[in-house]
Amino acid sequence: MSNTAFLSLEKLTLAYGDTVAVKDLDLSIRQGELVAFLGPSGCGKTTTMRSIAGLLRPQSGRISLDGADITRVAANKRSVGLVFQSYALFPHLTVFENVAFGLRLKGLSGTELESRVDAGLKSVGLTSFAARKPAELSGGQQQRVALARSMVMEPKVLLLDEPLSNLDARLRLEMRAELQRVQKETGVTMIFVTHDQGEALSLADRIVVMLNGAIEQIGTPEDIYNRPASAFVADFVGFENIFAIENGRLRAGNGPIELAMPLPHDAAGLAWRPRMVTLGSGPFQGTVRGAAFSGSTREYLLDTPLGALKAEVDAAAPAHSAGTTLAFDLPVEKAAKLERFN
Ligand SMILES: Nc1ncnc2c1ncn2[C@@H]1O[C@H](COP(=O)(O)OP(=O)(O)OP(=O)(O)O)[C@@H](O)[C@H]1O
Ligand SMILES: [Mg+2]
């Protein structure tokens, strides 16, 4: 993977009529990188993809790919592949012909066409399915045909918009692994959109978290999971106890709360995952409102001076029933320090 930008979006603003969907977005992606767009519905993920693919002309800003400005280049001249959630295979064509379709349009035929299609089918493990029709395939196999169909065009960038969302849980896992393998083998630069943070964390080299048409945070899966930059990202990746810092104290429902340790000066807030909360000792008291046993852990919902709090402990720890008063602590050294509180 080279370190220079291969695909860059500069101050990209995208609108549908008067509705601005993406504002001043800057993003630069390296060749061979696997990037995930993660964010709530309506935050602009598909819109950004469409502009990269050339299906939506930016209101302002610039898109460049492999050293060329492609902002105004037609979609079919961009060398950008797109796989959507509804992968829309041609039902009357065989798997082979589905994969061959784009290559035929490009004027390929004969042995060259055949070897490109064969290689494409091989890369997704569908060699022996070449003669079947889409209706004779499982959902995951159809998805792989759609992937092969895009891959054989040898795009510089492959965009996948929620490619796995139609699949059941087991197939999703299989296809995740498949995607990752194909991407590493071919080295194609890939951006995929997902709602699923687990999918983004397990697949991506870098994650772009979007909110309201802008980037909230860009980072490695470890950055996003362990060092969320804002309250929004912290909440999105499962920190359930999130507090703003005001004048050196935590802002809680019933007024500011002093923690035992001094709070970091450079943070706008602190966040704890349920398992980062110390339960059974500490300067605060909470009353158990609810308890949930998950097999390996117990999760407690506590009513506390800081408001409702979630704590998680090993299932081997003694169980506490509703109404019990427990001591707890929020260890500052374990907390994620938020740069922004939103
Ligand atoms: N064709 C359209 N015309 C007008 N507004 C649109 C159009 N497509 C999308 N939008 C709006 O643009 C914003 C971004 O939509 P987009 O489809 O990019 O969201 P998304 O992040 O892909 O969401 P989802 O996760 O639901 O797919 C939304 O507010 C949406 O309502
Ligand atoms: Mg979308």
Query: For residues 207 and 220, what is the distance between their CA atoms, to the nearest angstrom?
Result: 6
CB count in 10 Å sphere of residue 158: 25
Boundary residue ending a domain (202, 228, 254)? 228
pLDDT band at 300; cut points 50, 70, 90 = very high
Closest residue (by CA) to atom 3 of ligand 1? 16
Which ligand has its closest atom nearest to the C-alpha of 211? 1
Per-residue pLDDT, 125 = 84
Determine the pLDDT at residue 90: 93
Which ligand places an atom closest to the C-alpha of 37? 1
Tell how strand 34-38 and strand 60-65 pair up: unpaired
pLDDT (tens digit per residue) in 25-48: 999 999 999 999 999 999 999 999
pLDDT at 87 over 80: no
Tell me what the mean pLDDT of segment 1-20 comes to. Answer: 90
CA distance 145 to 329: 53
Report the nearest atom of ligand 1 relative to the CA of 210: 21
The torsion angle over the Cα atoms of residues 145, 190, 188 and 132, rounded to 10 degrees, is: 0
117 and 16, same structural domain? yes
Distance 42 CA to ligand 2 centre (A): 7
Same domain flag for 60 and 172: yes
238 Cβ contact list (under 8 Å, min separation 6): 197, 273
Residues with beta carbon inside 6 Å of ligand 1?
16, 19, 21, 39, 41-47, 195
Distance 45 CA to ligand 2 centre (A): 6
Which ligand 1 atom lies nearest to the CA of residue 37?
21
Rounded Cα gap, residues 141 and 23, in angstroms = 37
Average of per-residue pLDDT values in the chain: 91
Model confidence pTM above 0.85 = yes
Residues 86 and 125 in one domain: yes
Category of 143 on φ-ψ map: left (φ > 0), alpha (ψ -120 to 50) or beta: alpha
Query: Ligand 2 centroid vs 280 CA: distance in angstroms?
Result: 44
Expressed as residue numbers, the domain containing 26 is 5-228
Query: Residue 17, by phi and psi: left (phi above 0), alpha (psi -120 to 50) or beta?
Result: left
Ligand of minimum distance to the alpha carbon of 16: 1
One domain, residues 153 and 46: yes
Domain count of the fold of the chain? 2
Residue 1: pLDDT band with limits 50, 70, 90: low
